[in-house]
Amino acid sequence: MTRGPLDLVRARPEPPFEFSFDGEQLTALPGQTVAAALWQSGRLAWRRTRVGDRPRGAFCGMGACYDCLVELDGVPNVRACLAPVRPGTRVRTQRGDGHDELR
Amino acid sequence: MVVIGAGMIGAACADALALRGLQVAVLDRGPVAGGTTGAGEGNLLVSDKGPGPELELAVESLRLWRELADDLGAHALEYEPKGGLVVARDPRAFAELQASARLQRTAGVTAAEVPADALGELEPHLARELAGGVHYPQDAQVQPALAVAALLRRARGTGRVRLLAGTTVTGLAEGRVETDTHGPLHCAAVVNAAGTWGGEVAALAGATLPVLPRRGFILVTEPLPPLVRHKVYAADYVADVASGSADLQSSAVVEGTAAGPVLIGASRERVGFDRSLSVPVLARLAAQAAELFPVLSDVRAMRAYRGFRPYLPDHLPAIGPDPERPWLVQACGHEGAGIGLAPATARLVAQLLDGEKPFMDPAPFGPGRFGKEQS
Amino acid sequence: MTNSADAAGDHESYDLAVVGAGPAGLAAAASAAEHGVRVALLDGAPQPGGQFYRQPAAELRAERPQALHHHWSAFQHLLARLDAVRERVTLLSDHHVWSVTGGSGAFAVHALTGPDQRQARSLTARQVLFATGAHERQLPFPGWTLPGVVGAGGAQAMLKAGLVLPGRRVLVAGSGPLLLAVAASLTAAGATVPLVAEAAGYLGYARGARVLAANAGKLVEGAQHGATLLRHGVRLRPRTAVVAAHGTDRVEAVTLARLDAAWRPLSGTQWRVPCDAVAVGHGLVPQLELPLEFGCHTRRLPDGSAALVVDAAQRTTVPGVWAAGESTGVGGVQLAITEGELAGLAVAGQNTAPRSLLRRRSRQRAFADLMAARHAPGSGWTQWLDDATEVCRCEEVTARQVRDAVAELGAADQRTVKLLTRAGMGWCQARMCGPAVARLCGAPNADRHDDGAPTRPLSTPVPLGLLAECDTNAPSSEGAPR
C-alpha cells in the first residue's frame, strides 16, 4: 500500500461517514471540507462556469478565488474549500450562477 | 480645441467637436473614464428630474443617446433602453408621484401610471405591499467606460482628435494650455470637462467654479438570473415639518445587468448620502434594495465601489463660456447625471463654440451664476 | 485564551483587535496580552495558525501534524504563550472580517461567522492590527483553468488541513521558495512529483551571499526540502515553466519550456510531461484590502507588489492602525513572528524593543527582499498566453479581450481594463487575475491600489440582509479621499 497523507501525520481519524455528490454516495472523514472530501474521492470538478459551461473545482484552496463554489444542501455559491462536510450533506454540482430557483 | 477630461463629458465633447471638423486634443491626468465616469452605473434618467432646465437637457440627451446607439451599435455601448419604474410605498407617496409625473409629461417625458396590481407584470420580484408606480420608458442604461471608449474611438477615427492620457494641465491662458508631459498646446478654446476637478482646472485660468466632490457608493451583488428588468427605485413623500415644504425623496436605484449582478446605487444625492459614512451608507443601500426586492435579502453583495460626484451649489451643471474668459468653456458639475446629460451637454458646448443658435437656452447653466470671488 | 464562538452581544469592546491568527497575529496577540492589553484575535479559519500553520481538523486526530510543517515548535510555543494569558485574549475563529471602520481610538470590526458566513458579528477596539497575510500570485497559461491545475499554496493548504492530494502525479511549477516546500510535502504525503519547474534562475542568489550567510536557518530549511526531494528523485528545473496544460475535463499533461532570463519561452525547447495535477504559484502577494480602505500607505516590493509602510514599531501611516507579517512585505514565518512580537510590544506601550528583535527583523527583511527580487516575474511570460487563455477565471475574460481593450480602446491600467472587459469584476475581485492584467496592460505596478488596481470595500461577500442590519451608530471612517 502506498503511504498517504494520513500515514504521514499518523492520523487515526474518527469513523468515516457518507455524504452525497450529485446523488452518488461518497465517503468523507470527519473534519474534512467539502473540497477535501471530493478530492479524496478523486473528483476535481464540481462547478460549471456561467459563460463557457466549463468544469471547475478548487484552485486556491484558501477561500480567495471562489472557483470552488458548489451547491450545498440546496444553497448555491458556497466555497467548498471552507465548508465542512457532514454526514448526509447533499452536495451538487453548481451550474452557472447557481440560482436556477430564481429563474 | 483642448478638452480637459477624458470622462463621459470630455469624450462626448471631443466627439461633437471633431464631427464639426475641429482639431481636438483630449487631456486627462489619469486614464480614460478614470474619474466619476468609471464609478457610475450609467443611468440615463428623466424619471428623477422635475420640470426645468435640467429635464430639458435630459430629454434631448436621451434622444441623442438613442442616436448614438444606432450609430455606434447598442452593443458597443451596452445601451439598454430598459425603462425606469418608480414605485410608491403608500397612497400619499403615490399621489405625490402621480402629481410629479403629470408635471414631467408637460416637459416631454413619457410617464405611465402603474396601479399596484399591475406592478408584478413589470417586475415579478417586486415587494407586494406597494401602492403603485410610474413607468418611464425613456430611462435607459449605458456602460459608461464602454461608452467613453466608443465615442473616443469614433472621434479619433476622424483623424482630428489626439488623446493624451496621463497628462496633467499645469497652466491655462488664452490660446495656450501648459502640460507636464507634452509641453504647451496652442488652441482657440479650452473645454473644462474635468468633473470633480473642474474647480481646480478653472482656477488655473483664474476663474471660479465651486465644484465639490460628493461621495457615492454602488453595491454589486453576486451574479443572478434576470430578476430586475427596469431601473427601479422608490419615491417616498417626505414632509419637512420645519420648513413646511414637501419633497420626494428617492431610494437606491436597483437594476439588473446583462452579466448577472444586480447593481444598487443612488440616483441623485438629494438624500444626503454625502456626509454619511461608509458602512451605514452601504447598510442603507442594502436595506432599500431588499425592501423593494425581498428576494435580494439572502443574496450577497459581492463587491462595492465608490466614486465622487462633481456638484455645484445649485445642483445644476456649468455649461458655457466663463463670463470673463470666453475662450474657457465649462462643462462640468453634472453631479450624478453626467452620463445621461453628456451628449446634450456636448451639443450645447459645440453650438456655443461654433457660434450656432443653441438648441435650448443655456443661461441656467451659465458659469457666471456663482458670482465673483467673495474674497 | 478564550475560544468564543457566540459570546457577548454587539458591544464587545477590546483594547486591540488583531485581524489574522497566522504567525504574525499570534505573536502580536501574545506579546500585547502579556503586557496587559485585552485582545480580540479574529481569523476566518476554524483553527489558529494561518496558512503556514494550517493544521488537520481535530477530528482527523493527527498524532504528528509537524510532519507537514517547519518551525512547528515555534507555533506550539506561541499557542502556549497565548494560553498563559487566556483571560486577556479572545480568539474568534471562523470570523471573516469584511470591513474595519473608524479611527482615533474607536474602531469597529465587522465580521461574518457561522456556516457559510451567514451571521454577523461586530466588535469595537481602541486599536487595530492587521496580520492579514498573503495570497498566491497566479500567472495564467493555456489550460490553467482545467480541474487539477491548482495553486501550489492551495495544494499545500488542502494537504495540511484535509490530508488530501489533488492527484497521484503532481507537477509543481511557478516561482519562489514555496515551490520546494510544496514539492517536499507532496512527495512526503505519497504523491509523485515528476518535476519542479522554477521560472527563475538560481544564479541570482550568489549576489546576495552576505544576506544568505546571515540567514543560515533559511539555508538549512531549503536544504531540508532539497534533501527530501533528492530522496524521492524529484528534479528541480530552473528557468523552466509550464506553458500549457492539456486535457478535457481535467489536466492530463503539461507542456514545459525553457525560459530566458526575462521568462520568455525559448523556441524548440518544449516538451510534454503527463501528470494528473499541477500545483502552480508565482510567489505571494500581501493581502491588503482592509488596511487600504483606511488609506494606509504602501510601498513597492522588489517583485512589484505593494506592502504596507510601517515604522520601526510596526505602526502604519494611520494612527492606531498597526501591521505585521506578510502584509508589510512577504518575508516568511520567522519575520512574521518577529514583526508580530514587535508590534504587540509597541501596542502595549513598551517603547524600547529588545535590540536583538530589531536586529533579527532587519536581517530577515534583507533576506525577504533578496527572495522577492530573485523570483520577481519576468516580463516575457505573457508570450506563453494564447488568445483564448482565460485571464480572469471568474468572468472568463480571455487574453485576447484584455489585449483588445489595451490596443483598441486605449486602456492603460488595470481598472480601465476591468471597466472595459469585466476582468476582475467577479467573485474573487481580481485577487487571481490582478497581477496578470496589470502586466498585460503595461501598468507600472501590479498591486498598488493607486495605480489602478481595484480596492475592495467589502473584503468578503456579505448577504444584503445582514448588511442592511449593520449598526448605523457604529464608528465609521470617511476613508482616504481619492
Instruction: Look up residue A43 and give its three cell numbers.
Output: 473528483
Phi, psi of A61 (to 5 degrees): 70, 5
C104 to chain A, closest Cα gap in Å = 30
In this predicted structure, what is the pLDDT of residue C434? 93
Instruction: Look up residue B372 and give its three cell numbers.
Output: 465673483
- Which residues of chain A lie closer than 8 angstroms to B260, CB-CB? 50, 97
Q: C-alpha distances in angstroms, C238 versus C203, C375, C416?
A: 10, 11, 35
In this predicted structure, what is the pLDDT of residue A44? 98
Collapsed DSSP state (helix, strand, coil) of residue C160: helix
Indicate yes or no: CB of C481 within 8 angstroms of CB of B299.
no
Q: Which residues of C209-219 are buried (b: 16+ CB within 10 A; e: fewer)?
A: eebbebbeebe
Which chain C residue shows the shortest CA-CA distance from A53? C396
Amino acid at C282: H
CATH of the domain at C210: 3.50.50.60
Phi, psi of B53 (to 5 degrees): -60, -35
Calculate mean pLDDT across residues B111-126: 97
Q: C-alpha distances in angstroms, B117 versus B121, B132, B230?
A: 8, 8, 17
Phi, psi of B219 (to 5 degrees): -100, 140
Which chain B residue shows the shortest CA-CA distance from C450? B30
In this predicted structure, what is the pLDDT of residue C478? 34
C127 and C158 housed in the same domain: no
The pLDDT tens digits for C216-234 are 777 667 777 777 788 888 8
Helix (H) or strand (E) holding C89: strand C89-92
A75 touching C, CB under 8 A?
yes
Calculate mean pLDDT across residues B13-38: 94
Instruction: Look up residue C152 and give its three cell numbers.
Output: 501550489
Q: Which residue has the cell 448605523?
A: C472
Instruction: Look up residue C212 and give its three cell numbers.
Output: 544568505
CB B279 within 8 A of CB C99: yes
Indicate yes or no: CB of A59 within 8 angstroms of CB of C393.
yes
In the predicted model, is pLDDT for residue C38 greater than 80? yes
Indicate yes or no: CB of C415 within 8 angstroms of CB of B34.
yes
Comparison of pLDDT for A2 and B297, the residue scoring more = B297
A53 to chain C, closest Cα gap in Å = 10
Output the CA torsion sign for B206, B209, B210, B215.
Answer: negative
In this predicted structure, what is the pLDDT of residue C445? 47
Instruction: Look up residue B105 and give its three cell numbers.
Output: 409629461
> What's the structural domain count of chain C?
3
B224 to chain A, closest Cα gap in Å = 6
**pLDDT class of B14 with cuts at 50, 70, 90:** very high
Same fold, B2-41+144-211+314-370 and B84-137+213-309: no
In the predicted model, is pLDDT for residue B374 greater than 60? no
Q: Which residue has the cell 500500500?
A: A1
Task: Residue C327: name the closest of C309, C341, C342, C345 by CA.
Answer: C309
CB A61 within 8 A of CB A79: no
CB pairs under 8 A between B and C: 134
Give percent above pLDDT 90 in chain C.
73
Average confidence score pLDDT of chain B = 91
C298 and C312 housed in the same domain: yes
C344 and C211 housed in the same domain: no
**pLDDT class of A97 with cuts at 50, 70, 90:** very high
- Closest CB to B222 among A77, A100, A103: A77
CATH of the domain at C392: 1.10.10.1100
**Domain B84-137+213-309 sits in which CATH superfamily?**
D-Amino Acid Oxidase, subunit A, domain 2 (3.30.9.10)
DSSP state of C86: G
A99 to chain B, closest Cα gap in Å = 6
In this predicted structure, what is the pLDDT of residue B270? 46
Amino acid at B267: S
In this predicted structure, what is the pLDDT of residue A1? 43
- Closest CB to A62 among C65, C157, C159: C157
Q: Report the Cα–Cα distance between both ends of chain A, in Å, rounded.
A: 49
In this predicted structure, what is the pLDDT of residue B248? 60
Highest mean pLDDT among B363-372, C286-295, C382-391: C382-391
Indicate yes or no: CB of C158 within 8 angstroms of CB of A6.
no
CB atoms within 10 A of CB A92: 17
Angle at which helix B338-354 crosses helix B8-19, to 10 degrees, equals 30
Where does A14-92 sit in CATH, by number? 3.10.20.440
Give percent above pLDDT 70 in chain A.
98
Helix (H) or strand (E) holding C99: strand C96-103
- Which residues of chain C lie closer than 8 angstroms to B143, CB-CB? 419
CB atoms within 10 A of CB C4: 15
**pLDDT class of B278 with cuts at 50, 70, 90:** confident
Which chain C residue shows the shortest CA-CA distance from A39? C166
DSSP state of C200: S
In this predicted structure, what is the pLDDT of residue C471? 56
Calculate mean pLDDT across residues C64-69: 92
**pLDDT class of B277 with cuts at 50, 70, 90:** low
Indicate yes or no: CB of C470 within 8 angstroms of CB of B297.
no
Contacts of B75 (CB under 8 A, 6+ apart): none
pTM, full prediction? 0.92
- Which residues of chain B lie closer than 8 angstroms to A102, CB-CB? 125, 224-225, 227, 295
Q: What is the 3-state secondary structure (H, E, C) of chain B?
A: CEEECCCHHHHHHHHHHHHCCCCEEEECCCCCCCCCHHHCCCEECCCCCCCCHHHHHHHHHHHHHHHHHHHHCHHHHCCECCCEEEEECCHHHHHHHHHHHHHHHHCCCCCEEEEHHHHHHHCCCCCCCCCEEEEECCCEECCHHHHHHHHHHHHHHCCCEEEECCCCEEEEECCEEEECCCCEEECCCEEECCHHHHHHHHHHCCCCCCCEEEEEEEEEECCCCCCCCCEEEEEEEEEECCCCEEEEEECEEEEECCCCCEEEEECCHHHCHHHCCHHHHHHHHHHHHHHHCHHHHHCEEEEEEEEEEEECCCCCCEEEECCCCCCEEEEECCHHHHHHHHHHHHHHHHHHHHCCCCCCCCHHHCHHHHCCCCC
ipTM: 0.97
- Closest CB to C415 among B38, B163, B222: B38
In this predicted structure, what is the pLDDT of residue C203? 52
Calculate mean pLDDT across residues C359-386: 91
In this predicted structure, what is the pLDDT of residue C214? 74
Q: Which residue has the cell 512526503?
A: C188
Cα C79 to Cα C332: distance, rounded to the nearest angstrom: 19
Cα B95 to Cα B72: distance, rounded to the nearest angstrom: 40
In the predicted model, is pLDDT for residue B281 greater than 90? no
Q: Which fold has domain B2-41+144-211+314-370?
A: FAD/NAD(P)-binding domain (3.50.50)
Q: What is the largest CA-CA distance in chain B?
A: 64
Q: Which residue has the cell 527583523?
A: C361
Q: Chain C, 268-297: which have a CB under 8 Å from a chain B CB?
A: 293
**Strand order of the sheet with strand A55-56?**
A55-56, A47-48, A94-95
The pLDDT tens digits for B311-337 are 898 889 999 999 999 999 999 999 889
B301 touching A, CB under 8 A?
no
Phi, psi of B40 (to 5 degrees): -105, 170
The pLDDT tens digits for C406-435 are 988 778 889 899 999 999 999 999 999 999
CB pairs under 8 A between A and B: 19
Q: Give me the DSSP letters along C352-406.
A: S--HHHHHHHHHHHHHHHHHHHHHPPPGGGGGG--TT-EEETTTTEEHHHHHHHH
Domain membership of residue C79 (yes or no) is yes
In the predicted model, is pLDDT for residue C273 greater than 70? yes
Output the CA torsion sign for C247, C251, C252, C253.
Answer: positive
Average confidence score pLDDT of chain C = 89
C101 and C142 housed in the same domain: no
Q: C-alpha distances in angstroms, B156 versus B7, B64, B197?
A: 15, 20, 24
In this predicted structure, what is the pLDDT of residue B133? 97
The pLDDT tens digits for C296-335 are 999 988 888 899 999 999 999 999 999 999 999 999 999 9
B180 to chain C, closest Cα gap in Å = 18
Indicate yes or no: CB of C458 within 8 angstroms of CB of B303.
yes
Indicate yes or no: CB of C164 within 8 angstroms of CB of A40.
yes
Angle at which helix C333-347 crosses helix C355-375, to 10 degrees, equals 140
Q: Chain C, 389-428: which have a CB under 8 Å from a chain B CB?
A: 395, 405, 408-413, 415-416, 419-420, 422, 425-427
Helix (H) or strand (E) holding C182: helix C178-188
The pLDDT tens digits for A56-77 are 999 999 999 999 999 999 999 9
In the predicted model, is pLDDT for residue B146 greater than 50? yes
C264 and C310 housed in the same domain: no
Domain ranges of chain B: 2-41+144-211+314-370, 84-137+213-309
In this predicted structure, what is the pLDDT of residue B258? 87
**pLDDT class of C2 with cuts at 50, 70, 90:** low
Helix (H) or strand (E) holding C335: helix C333-347
Contacts of C53 (CB under 8 A, 6+ apart): C22, C23, C69, C72, C75, C333
Q: Which of A2, A3, A7, A9 to mutate: most C Cβ within 10 Å?
A: A9
CB B359 within 8 A of CB B57: no
Task: Residue B214: name the closest of B290, B286, B266, B170 by CA.
Answer: B266
Domain that holds residue C104: 2-135+285-353
Residue C41: CA count within 13 A, CB half-sphere? 38
Angle at which helix C178-188 crosses helix C152-162, to 10 degrees, equals 40
In this predicted structure, what is the pLDDT of residue B371? 72
C331 and C390 housed in the same domain: no
In this predicted structure, what is the pLDDT of residue C455? 76
In this predicted structure, what is the pLDDT of residue B250? 67
**pLDDT class of C442 with cuts at 50, 70, 90:** confident
In this predicted structure, what is the pLDDT of residue A92? 98
- Which residues of chain C lie closer than 8 angstroms to A93, CB-CB? none
Instruction: Look up residue B222 and give its three cell numbers.
Output: 453576486
Calculate mean pLDDT across residues C150-172: 97
Q: Which of C52, C60, C393, C458 to mutate: most A Cβ within 10 Å?
A: C60
A73 touching B, CB under 8 A?
no
Calculate mean pLDDT across residues C75-99: 97
Phi, psi of C53 (to 5 degrees): -100, 40
Cα C465 to Cα C117: distance, rounded to the nearest angstrom: 13
Angle at B80 between CA B77 and CA B85, to 5 degrees: 145
Q: Which of B152, B303, B309, B339 to mutate: most C Cβ within 10 Å?
A: B303
Indicate yes or no: CB of B295 within 8 angstroms of CB of A102.
yes
